[in-house]
Amino acid sequence: MTMEQAKRLAQQKSKDPHTKVGCLIVNDSGKVLSAGVNSFPTGVDDSPSYRWVRPTKYNYVVHAELNAIAEAASSGVSLRGATCIQTLFPCISCTKAIIQSPVYTLNGRKTPEEYLDEHIQYTNARATRLGFQSPSFRKLPNLIALAMNIASVPYEYLPMIKWLGEGAYGTAYSANGLPPEFHIAMYKDLQFRTGDPDCHFEQCVIKTALVKDKKAIDAFVRESKMQGLISLETYGPVSGKDLVPKICYAGILFGGGMAISIQVMTRAPGDTLHAIAVRQNGLTATQYVAVEKTFVSMWSLGFVHGDSHANNILYDVKNDKVTIIDAGMTLLLPFAIRDAVRSFDPARYPGLEIFARTIDHLTHGYIQDYNADGKMLATYLKWVLPEERKLVNRLRYEAWQQRMARVRRAW
């Protein structure tokens, strides 16, 4: 559903002779759930021309966004997870209505900054912008809409993109079936870019964040390159592309008075380790050993993740596969420690116990405020269900003996 259709709705249905506004609310497949234009309340006579003259009309007109939300409510249509497409940036009253509704995507003709620049003299405009910056509005994945606006990507692709979640440094969206045209249009205006827009991912994740200064730009570029570097590394049977999502392309968009970082990567399967532990009231021995093996594998490639909290670890129960996301705090290990990890004897020591303290000590000065790998693995070991704890050492030995045998053959 495109902006042009919302404009057409406004021109056809709105009787306001000065400002015609249209609003469409669509679901993730592009189906229209509700529509509205700026109009008088139902039953109120809108034929007298004086009623459309400012400031008199302000006493009568119901804005398009509010009409669309009211129409859905009166017909019993759920707007949960829907996208609101409107031809004019909303006022503060409509902003509050959108925040209170289940609608989670806002898609306007202009960015908040562009609208604010044009209407800076109005308190209404400033209040609207503050409303969109409030914590209660964070459920709206408006960053991707703003990025598409800056890159001149058609809004018809927006229903293919769904909000996944937010972290401390960005918002993640999942996308299914985006055509090459989307990636080419998004990539062409990126600065500090890396990768290639020639993506062939049926499913991908788009991570966005507001970038406020040069330090943030440097951190973003470093994270993108580090994640790409991990995915290229191999050692015997261990391949970095199996440990982290593959970066397709990344860069920064500048426009509308803002800078937005864009990372497009493969979609990692599974749920977060935190969600699994909550659902099961703990972890099984198999799940824990798979997580430990993944981190020791990363160490053997020469990397320390450094922010290994349970929401940065995805576990695919069906395939017993672990993927680590968010390489923003990843550090390179000294070659001596990396080689020591590669040569340990699992028959005598599990990787966690022999290397975790050394690795945490080496990285403490850099990532002391984050979730050091060894510290978090020790925490996850405590999450193992009581009846499963006796299995951990046996599964460790079996998993690592198998891995070390393959590595020795590779030598």
Reported as a single tens digit per residue, the pLDDT across 231-246 is 888 887 888 889 999 8
Q: Which of 68, 97, 128 is the last residue of a domain?
A: 128
Distance CA 169, CA 327 (A): 12
Question: Which of these ranges, 166-170, 274-278, 295-299, 391-395, has the smallest mean pLDDT?
Answer: 166-170
| Domain boundary, last residue among 128, 154, 170 | 128
What integer pLDDT is reported at residue 345 of this predicted model? Answer: 58
Contact 110, 257 (CB under 8 A): no
Is 90 exceeded by the pLDDT of residue 3? no
Whether residue 279 is contained in a domain is answered as yes
Whether 1 and 22 have beta carbons less than 8 Å apart is answered as no
Would 259 be classed as within a structural domain?
yes
Judge whether 82 and 27 are in contact, CB under 8 Å.
yes
pLDDT at 95 over 80: no
User: Does 171 share its domain with 245?
Assistant: yes
Domain assignment present for 108: yes
Shared domain for 380 and 303, answered yes or no, is yes
Residues 71 and 148 in one domain: no
Residues 6 or more apart whose Cβ sits within 8 Å of residue 204: 174, 175, 178, 248, 264, 265, 266, 267
Contacts of 43 (CB under 8 A, 6+ apart): none
111 and 194 part of one domain: no
The whole-number average pLDDT for the span 341-368 is 57
Indicate the average pLDDT of the chain.
77
Do 351 and 224 share a structural domain? no
Does residue 42 form part of some domain?
Answer: yes
Q: Final residue of a domain: which of 266, 288, 308?
A: 266
75 plus 117 within the same structural domain:
yes
404, part of any domain? yes
What is the pLDDT at residue 346? 54
Dump pLDDT digits (tens) for 62-75. Answer: 999 999 999 988 88
Does residue 277 share a domain with residue 257? no
Whole-angstrom distance, CA of residue 219 vs CA of residue 214? 9
At 103, which CATH number?
Answer: 3.40.140.10
- Residue 283 pLDDT level (bands cut at 50, 70, 90): very high
Q: How many domains does the chain have?
A: 3
Domain membership of residue 136 (yes or no) is no
Please list the alpha-helical segments (H only) found in 119-267: 123-133, 142-150, 180-188, 214-232
- Strand-pair category, 258-266 with 313-316: unpaired
pLDDT for residue 286: 92
> And the tokens for 294?
């993944």
pLDDT tens string 110-156: 444 454 454 444 444 445 554 454 444 434 345 777 788 778 887 77
Give the containing element (helix H, strand E) for 408: helix 392-410
Task: List, for residues 175-223, the tens digit of each pLDDT value.
Answer: 888 888 889 888 988 988 888 888 767 788 998 888 878 888 888 888 8
**By three-state DSSP, how is residue 344 classified?**
coil
Same domain, 35 and 93: yes
Residue 137 lies in a domain: no
Do 280 and 403 belong to one domain? yes
Domain that holds residue 362: 271-410
Whether 166 has a pLDDT exceeding 60, the answer reads yes
Report the pLDDT value the prediction gives residue 90, as an integer from 0 to 100: 74
Which strand (E) or helix (H) includes residue 86? strand 83-86
Residues 291 and 340 both lie in one domain: yes
At 62 the pLDDT is 92
pLDDT, mean of residues 286-301: 89
Number of C-beta neighbours around residue 188 at 10 A: 13
Helices (H), 22-80: 64-75
- Residues marked as catalytic: 65
State the Cα angle at 149 between 183 and 28, rounded to 5°: 70
Share of the chain above pLDDT 90, in %: 11
**What gap in Å lies between CA 82 and CA 133, rounded to an integer?**
20
Local confidence band at 344 (pLDDT 50, 70, 90 cut-offs)? low
Same domain, 111 and 49: yes
Per-residue pLDDT averaged across 258-285, rounded?
Answer: 89
The first and second tokens of residue 220, run together, are: 């973003």
CA 407 from chain centre, in angstroms, equals 36
Angle at 340 between CA 366 and CA 283, to 5 degrees: 70
34: Cβ–Cβ under 8 A, 6 or more apart, which residues? 24, 25, 68, 69, 71, 72, 75, 77, 79
Q: CA distances (Å), 285 to each of 131, 289, 319, 383, 403, in order? A: 46, 6, 15, 9, 18
Q: Which segments of 100-202 are extended strands (E)? A: 105-108, 161-167, 170-176, 191-195
**Band (285; pLDDT cuts 50, 70, 90):** very high
Are 173 and 283 contained in the same domain? no
> What is the number of other CB atoms lying within 10 angstroms of the CB of residue 300?
24
Residues 237/403, Cβ–Cβ less than 8 Å: yes
CATH of the domain at 212: 3.30.200.20
What's the whole-number mean pLDDT along residues 368-378? Answer: 70
> Quick one: average pLDDT of 280-309?
89
What pLDDT is recorded for position 141? 43
pLDDT cut 70: percent of the chain above it: 76
Residue 181 falls inside a structural domain: yes
- Alpha helices for 213-284 (secondary structure H): 214-232, 273-280
pLDDT-derived band at 321, boundaries 50, 70, 90: very high
Helices marked H in 281-391: 285-300, 335-343, 351-367, 373-383
